[in-house]
Amino acid sequence: MGLLSFFQKLLGGGPSIAGGSPHSKSGNGKGDMQLACAECKKTFVFEHGEQRFYEQRGLTPPKRCTNCRRKRGRRRR
Ligand SMILES: [Zn+2]
């Protein structure tokens, strides 16, 4: 192994990373939840990492998709 390829690995290099998260390749059977948005009725993914984040803070799972949440947050004064 050359030094160059070593550094490329260190930097997480390689064209395979570009475009999309590397985790979601094997499907979403890894604890991700599908929730229905209370506002636009669309289903959105409540990721496993997010679930833990909410759990740790004693928060209830979001009822709205990120889109609707963003809209609401902007309107708040
Ligand atoms: Zn929504």
- Whole-number Å distance, alpha carbon 58 to ligand 1 midpoint, is 22
> Residue 65 CB: number of other CB atoms within 10 A?
21
- Whole-number Å distance, alpha carbon 31 to ligand 1 midpoint, is 21
Place of tokens 């059977």: 29
pTM surpassing 0.75? Answer: no
The one-digit pLDDT tens for each residue of the chain (77 residues) are 678 777 777 777 555 544 555 554 544 457 999 999 999 999 999 999 999 999 999 999 999 999 999 998 775 55
- CA of 59 from ligand 1 middle (Å) equals 19
- Partnered with residue 45 across adjacent β-strands are 34
